[in-house]
Amino acid sequence: MAGQLKEGGLMKFFTECLQDLFNAEKKFVKCAAALSIAAYTEELQTALLCQSHQSETHAERLYQVFKLLSIHPAEGKCKIIEILSDKSADIVKTVETGTALRDSAIIYAVQLIAHYKIACYGSLISLLEEIEEDSAQVLLERCLTDEKHASDQLNQLAIKVINPSAARESV
């Protein structure tokens, strides 16, 4: 059955999804770095730079998955990440500079992207179970774990630091 999947529609679908995610990670490297410049608090700036570097690592891992599966990492654009990145830029433009409210908005936008990537990694891992490629699955599972951890860190930063500051600004 694995041979049929490698030759048929599931492998093609997996390849397209992997290429989208690869392009999403490459796009997010730039997006997170740009948002770190727009962020007000040092904690958020640091978290976003870490996420940018993490996306570089994820892109490298995804490239390894391409090599393991003998797939060409075609250039292209992940339309969903393009839309979410544009949403992030709009938020930065519309919320006052130097405020915790802006940081809350940035976290919101970044978590939209992170949750999309979490969903992608989870789906690709489940597809790899059918394709029976354990080495690639391990690489994707590491990325998924990183994404969940980064999202949790942003959530804790929002709850403990950013959102309370934003609430005080609103009074």
pLDDT for 38-70, tens place per residue?
A: 999 999 999 999 999 999 999 999 999 999 999
Average pLDDT, the chain: 91
**Tens-digit pLDDT profile for residues 106-159:** 999 999 999 999 999 999 999 998 877 789 999 999 999 999 999 999 999 999
- Pick the closest to residue 71 from 118, 105, 22 (CA basis): 22
Contact 24, 117 (CB under 8 A): yes
Domains annotated for the chain, with CATH where assigned, are 2-70+88-170 (1.20.1260.10)
Could you give the residue ranges of the DSSP H alpha helices within 39-99? 42-68, 79-94
Rounded to whole angstroms, the Cα distance separating 38 from 51 reads: 15
**Residue 5 clears pLDDT 50, i.e. is over it:** no
Assessment of whether the complete model's pTM goes beyond 0.75 = yes
Grouping H, G, I as helix, E, B as strand and the rest as coil, residue 68 is helix
Looking at residue 74, its pLDDT comes to: 79
Contact 147, 117 (CB under 8 A): yes
Contact 65, 14 (CB under 8 A): no
